[in-house]
């Protein structure tokens, strides 16, 4: 058992993560409705995940109302950050995982500090964020950069156009749907 978390807190943890995820999904649905004139199912799913991620840092210490608030902010943040990463920064993140896990994860760390009962918790959360952004991210980025020099991660432009199932495996993943021109199939 982790220090500071008692078994009777498990109900609070379940309630907080569920409320935050539901609030984030609803906030993402409302945000996409306002921005795109209709809810976007993919972004609503990302909103649900963003609520789970954001509530994880403080799930055992947040009150349900603050867990809901954390989820609402995460749901709005994920929609806006997915759009910002794709359109403005040109980051190739088709699933929005950077927005869900990095952006909303950092928001969850901040929220755990803001809504904490102890005064020093906010400072501890800021130190954790500084460590992640200042040390862990550059280290992981650098190691992946070095690895990419020896084993290229990116598929060729032809592979992107064909789809990885056809390009890498030589077979269509969904043969009942015609999605490729015959030129790809005759190689």
pLDDT over 70 at 3, yes or no = no
Q: State the Cα–Cα distance between residues 169 and 155, nearest whole angstrom.
A: 13
Tokens of 29: 């649905």
C-alpha dihedral, 66 to 118 to 17 to 29, nearest 10°? 40
What is the distance between the terminal CA atoms of the chain, rounded to a whole angstrom? 57
Q: State the Cα–Cα distance between residues 80 and 83, nearest whole angstrom.
A: 5
Q: Average pLDDT of 151-159? A: 83
Q: Tell me the per-residue pLDDT of 12-58, one tens digit each, with 9 for 90 and over.
A: 999 999 999 999 999 999 999 999 999 999 999 999 999 999 999 99
**Across the chain, what does the average pLDDT equal?**
89
Q: State the Cα–Cα distance between residues 21 and 29, nearest whole angstrom.
A: 12
Supply the pLDDT for residue 1. 42
Supply the pLDDT for residue 164. 76
Q: Domain spans of the chain?
A: 7-144, 155-187
Supply the pLDDT for residue 161. 78
Residues in the chain: 187
115, 63 contact by CB (below 8 A): yes
Q: Tell me the per-residue pLDDT of 73-110, one tens digit each, with 9 for 90 and over.
A: 999 999 999 999 999 998 888 899 999 999 999 999 99
Q: Tokens 């008692």: give the residue.
A: 6
Q: If pLDDT is split at 50, 70 and 90, which confidence band does 166 have? A: confident
CATH entry, 7-144, from 3.40.50.300, 3.90.550.10, 1.10.3430.10, 1.10.1510.10: 1.10.3430.10
67, 18 contact by CB (below 8 A): no
Per the model's pLDDT, the better-predicted residue between 169 and 61 turns out to be: 61
pLDDT over 60 at 180, yes or no = no
CA-nearest of 6, 8, 100 to 54 is: 100
């Amino acid at each position: 058992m982790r220090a500071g978390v008692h078994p009777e807190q498990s109900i609070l943890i379940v309630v907080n993560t569920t409320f935050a995820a539901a609030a984030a999904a609803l906030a993402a649905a409302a945000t996409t409705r306002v921005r795109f004139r209709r809810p976007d199912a993919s972004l609503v799913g990302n909103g649900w995940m963003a609520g789970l991620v954001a509530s994880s840092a403080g799930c055992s210490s947040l009150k349900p109302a603050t867990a809901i608030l954390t989820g609402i902010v995460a749901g709005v943040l994920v929609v806006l950050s997915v759009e910002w990463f794709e359109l403005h920064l040109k980051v190739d993140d088709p699933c929005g995982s950077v927005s869900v896990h990095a952006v909303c994860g950092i928001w969850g760390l901040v929220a755990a500090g803001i809504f904490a009962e102890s005064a020093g918790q906010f400072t501890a959360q800021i130190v954790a964020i500084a460590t992640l952004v200042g040390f862990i991210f550059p280290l992981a980025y650098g190691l992946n950069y070095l690895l990419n020099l020896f084993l290229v991660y990116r598929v060729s432009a032809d592979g992107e156009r064909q789809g990885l199932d056809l390009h890498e495996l030589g077979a269509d993943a969904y043969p009942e749907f015609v999605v490729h021109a015959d030129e790809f199939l005759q190689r």
